[in-house]
């Protein structure tokens, strides 16, 4: 319901490309060094700003209308409006909590027309409430991006987990 056959085919090809890239990297060949498109770089900057701000509206606007977010221990959250509502509920029920620092380290970005797939790591510091000691998490992330009709890039699918 959220993808067309052509979109599904494109996503599968892109995901296979990432897998091949990972496997080639593991075999000793380094990552490709093609420049990241400016629109994707702008999305990365907006992601960092929105993540630290914790603003549900800014976070939701990083995604396509039918975007999917998958976080550790949770169900897939589908749709920008659902994400916004969930983030508002979380903020209201966890006063004083939030992310205090966030840096993504994207190892590979592969662009396939209006779609891109990227993977990498992020480092984040967060607090669980007012006066709580800061904690650190390093995570791994796999993201599918889509270039919208207006030329801006947004996340279509984001999945992350705690790095080993």
Contacts of residue 47, defined as CB under 8 A and 6 or more positions apart, other chains included, come to 62, 104, 155
Per-residue pLDDT tens digits of the chain, which is 164 residues long = 444 445 444 444 444 444 334 333 433 333 445 688 999 999 999 999 999 999 999 999 999 999 999 999 999 999 999 999 999 999 999 999 999 999 999 999 999 999 999 999 999 999 999 999 999 999 999 999 999 999 999 999 999 999 97
Confidence (pTM): 0.78
- Supply the pLDDT for residue 164: 74
Question: Backbone phi, then psi, for 54, in 5-degree steps?
Answer: 70, 10
d(CA 128, CA 91): 11
d(CA 108, CA 26): 13
pLDDT in tens, 94-111: 999 999 999 999 999 999
- Supply the pLDDT for residue 89: 97
Residue entry with tokens 């903020």: 91
């Amino acid at each position: 319901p959220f993808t067309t056959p052509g979109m599904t085919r494109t996503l599968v090809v892109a995901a296979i490309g990432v897998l091949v890239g990972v496997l080639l990297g593991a075999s000793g060949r380094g990552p490709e060094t093609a420049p990241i498109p400016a629109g994707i770089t702008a999305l990365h900057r907006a992601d960092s700003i929105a993540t630290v701000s914790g603003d549900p509206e800014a976070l939701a606007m990083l995604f396509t209308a039918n975007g999917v977010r998958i976080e550790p221990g949770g169900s897939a959250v589908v749709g920008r409006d659902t994400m916004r509502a969930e983030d508002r509920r979380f903020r209201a029920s966890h006063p004083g909590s939030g992310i205090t620092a966030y840096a993504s380290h994207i190892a590979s970005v592969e662009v396939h027309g209006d779609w891109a797939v990227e993977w990498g790591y992020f480092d984040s510091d967060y607090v669980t409430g007012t006066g709580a000691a800061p904690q650190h998490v390093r995570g791994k992330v796999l993201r599918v991006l889509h270039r919208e009709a207006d030329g801006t890039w947004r996340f279509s699918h984001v999945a992350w987990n705690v790095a080993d």
